[in-house]
Amino acid sequence: MIKAGIIGATGYAGSELVRILMGHREAEIVWYGSRSYIDKRYHEVYQNMFRIVDDVCRDDDLEELAEQTDVIFTATPQGYLAGLLTEEILKRVKIVDLSADYRIKDVAVYEKWYGIEHKSPQFIPEAVYGLCELNRNQITASTRLVANPGCYTTCSILTAYPLVKEGLIDVDTLIVDAKSGTSGAGRGAKVPNLFCEVNENIKAYGVAGHRHTPEIEEQLGYAADREVTINFTPHLVPMNRGILVTEYAKLKRAADGALPTYEEIRAAYDKYYAQEKFVRVLDKGVCPETKWVEGSNYVDINFVIDERTGRVILMGALDNLVKGAAGQAVQNMNLLFGLEESQGLELVPCFP
């Protein structure tokens, strides 16, 4: 049985880790870390866990966790893990980090976009970017540190990756329009996230400067085998959870001026995702909806060719707390310990 510890167990991503791991046959949670609720029973923080979790919340003691657990999930703000991680800790325990501390390989880019100094850049080279569908071969028993991707980034990258990799689009024309439910902003009380601020409202934020931009660019750059620059604009919408991305890019024409056909683009998606458990490429003409993936680890994807403009419109939907955070973290844990990748993640989407 894998002994798991969670730092940040009372945030939204942390609580989703608890929900998923409670149904995992090969893992048990032995440490519910929460600085805000030390010594308080976990079910008193999340009443949905009444008579399910009786443990109390404990302090975020990374050193002690490394002694008592096999894997630590850090569902914490940027800079937390980077400020505490040491070689001695990594020698004793595996870590799946849900923050951005080790996602971006260029530390200068991280510091520019996040506005903080990285305290342990020496561990960035070994951290594996944990987008399982693309990097599962790098996530093995010998891996010590996994950088769990962000929610916007997971959806944006998986939606565009096959067409970038196969050279079907001009990636420099890529525009990503993304919309997220309010749980993506975390559980902390903030005026912009109050009911009266969010209800019956939709707003863009982080325009031309959202910090998930370089993460998307870096990963799509690997697919394109060159540096990539995109436009990424997120929006906050009045729902609890879910992300919908709509992406636009100019298609590359053949020598005779013809655009790629539906069949050619569909073949590119099938090449990479036909065997993927959690990526569902929908039937022709069906547009993804957040409700169809809610509470699950699925990503739904589709596309439409706009022959009038020579562009392709790509669409993707996922649950920001599951595939966009906790579910993907458990997927990474399964790979780290040689388990079936879908263990504990056979979650049927909730509807309605």
What span, in angstroms and rounded, lies between the C-alpha atoms of 154 and 299?
9
Catalytically annotated residues: 151
What span, in angstroms and rounded, lies between the C-alpha atoms of 70 and 253?
51
Among candidate residues 10, 45, 18, 13, the one with its CA nearest the CA of residue 184: 13
Handedness of CA 349, 73, 128, 170 (dihedral sign): positive
- CB distance 13 to 75 below 8 Å: yes
What span, in angstroms and rounded, lies between the C-alpha atoms of 300 and 293?
7
Structure tokens at 162: 């096959």
